Structures are given as C-alpha cells and as structure tokens.
Structure 1
Amino acid sequence: MKEYERKQLLERVEREGATVGATIPETIDVQGEAIDLREFVFEIKRRDTVPAGERERVDEAKKNLRRERVQRRQLLEEADISFEEGEELVAAIIGIDRALNALESLGPTDLERESEAQEAADQKRWMSFLKQALGREDANKRGRL
C-alpha cells in the first residue's frame, strides 16, 4: 500500500462521524476468540438497565474491544499490507467503534434518583417563576443594595 493510501485510511478511522451509518460486525475475533459482537450488543441494549451481574461482563467486553481496536489500528499504521486489507481493517475498526459507542451509552441509570432530580428541578423553576411573577425577587434585590 502506498503511503498516501495509508494516510487516507487512517484519516477515515479517526474521522468524527465515522460510525454514523456503520454496522456492528456480526462476529469479530478478539484475542484469538470469535465473539458474536452484534448479538451481544443488541442483547445488552435491549434491557433498560444493565444488571449488576452483567456490568462486569460488559466492562470486560469494552476493555477487550478497546485493546483489539488499538492492535488493528497499529496494523493499519505499521504493517506491510495491501490497500484492500487496509480497507477491511478500517471497516472492522469502525465496527468496533460503533459497538463501543453502543456499550458506552449504557451508563448506570438510577430511575428513582433521576426522577427525584427532575422533580427538584421542576420545583426550583416553579418557585423562581412565582417569585418573579409576584415581584418578590425584585424586592429582595433592592433590600440587599
């Protein structure tokens, strides 16, 4: 592969919106083990929250995917490969990025805490509105000056 082709492929991997429209690979070899990546991601995403027992499994998968991404990017950057092999690596890296994005967006959600925070914010906005509507906010400001 020519150097300018390598640069094009590397630029494509690092592009901001590279994962837009990309699909998660059906299977991928990570550390010599074939993983049904698409099925795993969809299985985890189907749930509203990730159970505590699954959290460790998801974290391990993310760690392995990041490691695999780094290795494939290094191959793309340094190995003596053809342009076609480079394009396959780019597709795999972007697919890994897509899977990582999906898994990263799972963050822990505590619905009760989220609901309480939303209620507190609503109450604060309501009180601010009432103070403004009743003119008390201006009176408080004048009294302080």
Structure 2
Amino acid sequence: MKPYERKQLLERVEREGATVGASIPEEIEVQGEPFALRSFVFEVKEAETGERERVQEAKKLLRRERLERLERLEEGDISVAEGEALVNAIVGLDRALNALESLGSKSVEQEMEVQERMDTKRWYSFLSEALGWDDDRGIRR
C-alpha cells in the first residue's frame, strides 16, 4: 500500500461522521474467537438493566480490538483491499461502541464532559480544515 492510500484510509476512520449509515457487523473476531456483535448489542439494548458488567467488559474488548486493527492499518504491511476491510471493521466497531455507550444512565456531569469533548473535537476539525493543517502539529498544506 502506498503512503497516500494509507493516509486516505486512516482519514476515513477518523472522520467525524464515519459511523453515519454504518451497520454493526453481524460477527467479528475478537482475540481469535468469533463474537456475535450485532445480536449482543441488540440483546443488551433490550435488557438494559442488570447488564452493566457485561457491557463494560464487551466495550473493553471492542476498544482493544479497534486499537489493534487501527495499529495494523497504520503500520502493517497490507494491501489496499485489506486496508478497506480494516476500515469497514473499525467503523463497524465504532458503531457498536456508540450503541453500547448510549446504554444505561449517565450522570449529568459525565454527559456534559462527553459533550464538551465532542464539541472540542468538532471545533478542532473545523479549524484544521479551514486553516489547511495537515496533521496534529499544525503544519500547513
């Protein structure tokens, strides 16, 4: 894979609305074992109460799996097709994590913190685009 192709794929993963329209994968492999992700998300979403521990454990596993796939996308010797598959898997994991994050009640303070972080991220993305920054270091295009 060429560096510019890798950069395009990474940008797709990090895009603000990457999960819009994305579906939760039916099944993914987590630590070498198949995991029925879609049915798990819908199952705990319907139950909502009493599943807190199970949901927290699943979120940890999914975040770890997302990170491993992202690292493979960033640094691995992979083809463009493999990169595309990784991007789709990462976006699907993000979609599932978003669904799991919305479960349960959060305190007002936690909700405000999350909103503030999201607002900051959107503002930085806007500034980066408007000012023509290439990366986090503020280098101009």
Q: TM-score, normalised by structure 2?
A: 0.73
* One-letter code aligned to 1:36: A
Q: Write the mapping of 1:47-86 to structure 2, written as runs, cut at 5 A.
A: 47=47, 50-52=48-50, 54-86=51-83
Aligned to 1:88: 85
* One-letter code aligned to 2:40: F
> Which structure: larger Rg?
1
Per-residue deviation at 1:109? 6.8
Deviations 1:1-33 (A, max 9, x none): 100000000000000000000010000011111
1:32 has 2:66 as partner: no
2:102 to 73, 85, 105: 105
The question of whether the paired residues in 1 share the 8 Å contact of 2:25 and 2:89 is answered with yes
Number of equivalent positions: 107
SS in 2 for 1:34: strand
Give the 3 Å change call, closer, same or farther, for CA 5–59 of structure 1 in structure 2.
same
**Root-mean-square deviation (Å):** 1.4
Distance across 2 between alignment mates of 1:67 and 1:89 = 14
| Unmatched segments (≥5 aa) in structure 1 | 111-145
| Unmatched segments (≥5 aa) in structure 2 | 108-141
Runs of 4+ with deviation above 2 angstroms: 107-110
Structure number having the greater helix percentage: 1
